[in-house]
Homo-oligomer: A and B are copies of this chain.
């Protein structure tokens, strides 16, 4: 069981990779304790700092957790839905914001993906899902609501819709679409949008879902998508008016 760390990549990265693949391949199982840092030093023949940097890399990915004390150490972490959610949302947010994704592309993706949960949601929605959606609609109708709170409520509404599908894997996967992109979309469109219209569409979605009418739900969600896209185009058009195009060469 000797590890030869070959290349000129950083040692801590290689060691982290070694352990990471052991976890992914199931050689290390959940809650299993990794060797102590001092032991890893000997095994990989590196200093403790290097081992620690490797372990911190793993901890940053929620692959391990550490405890101090006599029976402490680094343990393989069970990746919880909550951690995975957060990670997925963060990654999605960064990906969108760092890669000049057009609003149309993001909007299209977001609604296409959300649509996928509707047949299941129509079949399985429970009273509490409907109640959550109606509660958010009610909140959205309150006068004097700040844009920020309205946006939060919007996200919560859609999350309830997704959760109504009763499939945690779908909820996790769609978190990246709904929670990461909805705020971005709201940020762009909030100046233009007609809350009454959005609330109406939300109500129609809730009604259709209550009636277990998947087709109507999909159609209405499509209308919401179209309206969002239209808003964005208005904002863009107005921008072009105001900001003169820079005349480079």
Contact = CB atoms under 8 A, between A and B. Distances in A.
A115 interface: yes
A172 B110 CA distance: 12
A30, A109, A120, most chain B CB atoms within 10 A:
A109
Interface string A108-126: 1110110111011000000
Contact of A16 (B60, B95, B116, B119): B60
A79 B57 contact: no
A170 interface: yes
A91 interface: yes
Given A26-B97, A60-B16, A91-B84, A108 B167 contact: yes
Say whether chain A's binding surface is mostly helix, strand, loop, or mixed.
helix
Contacts of A52: 49, 53
A52, A53, A93, most chain B CB atoms within 10 A:
A53
Interface string A67-98: 00000000000111100100110111111111
A7 interface: no
Number of identical monomers bound together in the oligomeric complex:
2
Contact of A106 (B94, B112, B169, B176): B169
A61, A92, A108, A116, most chain B CB atoms within 10 A:
A116
Closest 3 interchain pairs by CB? A57-B60, A109-B169, A116-B116
Given A12-B56, A54-B56, 17 more contacts: A13-B59, A16-B60, A23-B94, A24-B94, A53-B53, A53-B56, A56-B57, A57-B60, A78-B98, A79-B91, A79-B94, A81-B99, A84-B95, A92-B173, A105-B169, A112-B116, A112-B167
15 contacts: A12-B56, A13-B59, A24-B94, A53-B56, A54-B56, A57-B60, A87-B87, A95-B172, A109-B167, A109-B170, A112-B119, A112-B165, A112-B167, A116-B116, A173-B173
Interface of A: 12-13, 16, 23-24, 26, 30, 49, 52-54, 56-61, 63, 78-81, 84, 87-88, 90-99, 101, 105-106, 108-110, 112-113, 115-117, 119-120, 165, 167-170, 172-174, 176-177
